[in-house]
């Protein structure tokens, strides 16, 4: 009764593999923060309930070692933006934080909620308008649409500036997972802030872009293809990369 009315993500399998990929295996930051209030020996907290309910025998070697390590090391406090409920999704939290301006988390969260509601409404309209045999193909879950849209927007290869002999070349470079996710979200947000009519609101524009990206069409997918083509064109300079 206290939580929002939207139904939680039905396809939790997609959501559950994302959170572990956002942090490294052991829960220790790969790049050490220069100065943190926590001692470096503190490990990241694991909020997902299902991982704790697995019986001991089903765990693999790696997970057993991780568990033993967690038993002796102190753990950081869970941040206020995440919780163990089905409604808290790490991708959605990250996207909300990127949308936030001047620390106004309340506004960012309400915009996100309105966006998901808009997606649901549009998909439901489409569902009811579709003939009976096509009704099953219409995806109504806004969380599934969000995750799939972001996945479709992620570029595989990026360009990096390398200076050789005074000239700067655009060298094609493989991107890390974090970087891909960040670029997809960044493109979405900039697209929705800049290329819209003065009177359209953010949730409306965002929901439209997300549905288009889900169907592999729209300006962000086009931007991704343009980047891939540039990388393909600059294939000759690929040997400049040393990492």
Partner 1 sequence: MAVVAAGRVLLLGGRWSAATASGGPSAQTLRLIYTTTAAWRKNIAASGPEKYTEAFIKKQIEEFDLGKRHLANMMGEDPETFTQEDIDRAIAYLFPSGLFDKRARPMMKHPTEIFPEQRKIQWGEDGRPFHFLFYTGKQSYYSLMHETYEKLLNVQKHQDQLAAQGISPQKEKKNLVGSRWVTKTELEGMLLEKLSDDDYSRFIRLLEKLMTLPCSDIEENYIKKFSKEIAVQLQKVSVEPLKYDEQGVAFSTGEGVRKTSRATAVVYGSGTGKITVNGIDVLHYFPVLQDREQLLFPFQFLDRIGKHDTTCTVSGGGRSSQAGAIRLATAKALRSFVTEKEVEFMRQAGLLTVDPRVRERKKPGQEGARRKFTWKKR
Q: Which positions lie near partner 1, rule CB under 8 A?
A: 2-4, 37-38, 45-47, 49, 52, 65, 68-78, 80-81, 83-85, 87-88, 105-106, 109
- The answer to whether the CB of 238 falls within 8 A of the CB of 171 is yes
The tokens describing 84, both together, are 């163990």
- Residue number with CB closer to partner 1 (2 or 242): 2
Q: Quote the least distance from Cβ 59 to partner 1, whole Å.
A: 14
- Residue number with CB closer to partner 1 (45 or 219): 45
Task: Report the alpha-carbon distance of residue 95 to residue 99 in Å, rounded.
Answer: 6
Q: Quote the least distance from Cβ 43 to partner 1, whole Å.
A: 8
DSSP H helical segments within the chain, as ranges? 12-22, 49-53, 61-72, 90-99, 105-129, 142-153, 177-194, 202-214, 219-233
- Residue number with CB closer to partner 1 (71 or 132): 71
Q: Is 123 helix (H, G, I), strand (E, B) or coil?
A: helix
| Residue 14 per-residue DSSP state | H
- Residue number with CB closer to partner 1 (44 or 209): 44
Q: Quote the least distance from Cβ 16 to partner 1, whole Å.
A: 15
Q: Quote the least distance from Cβ 229 to partner 1, whole Å.
A: 39
Taking each continuous run of H as one helix and of E as one strand, the counts in the chain are 9, 2
Task: Report the alpha-carbon distance of residue 6 to residue 116 in Å, rounded.
Answer: 8
Q: Quote the least distance from Cβ 142 to partner 1, whole Å.
A: 17
- Residue number with CB closer to partner 1 (104 or 190): 104
């Amino acid at each position: 009764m206290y939580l929002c009315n939207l139904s939680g993500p039905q396809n939790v399998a997609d959501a559950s593999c994302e959170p572990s990929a956002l942090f490294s295996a052991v829960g220790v930051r790969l790049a050490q923060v220069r100065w943190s209030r926590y001692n470096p020996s503190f490990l990241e907290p694991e909020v997902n309930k299902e991982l704790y309910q697995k019986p001991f025998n089903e765990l693999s070697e790696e997970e057993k070692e991780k568990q033993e390590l967690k038993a002796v090391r102190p753990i950081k406090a869970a941040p206020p933006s995440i919780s163990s409920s089905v409604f808290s999704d790490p991708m959605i939290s990250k996207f909300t934080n990127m949308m936030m301006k001047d620390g106004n988390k309340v506004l960012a969260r309400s915009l996100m909620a309105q966006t998901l509601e808009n997606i649901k409404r549009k998909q439901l309209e489409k569902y009811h308008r579709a003939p009976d045999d096509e009704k099953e193909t219409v995806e109504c879950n806004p969380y599934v649409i969000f995750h799939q849209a972001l996945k479709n927007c992620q570029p595989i290869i990026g360009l990096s500036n390398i200076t050789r002999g005074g000239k700067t070349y655009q060298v094609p470079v493989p991107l890390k997972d974090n970087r891909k996710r960040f670029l997809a979200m960044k493109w979405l947000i900039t697209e929705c802030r800049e290329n819209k009519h003065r009177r359209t609101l953010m949730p409306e524009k965002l929901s439209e872009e997300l549905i288009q990206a889900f169907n592999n069409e729209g300006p962000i997918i086009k931007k991704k293809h343009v980047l891939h083509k540039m990388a393909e064109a600059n294939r000759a300079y690929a040997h400049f990369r040393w990492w």
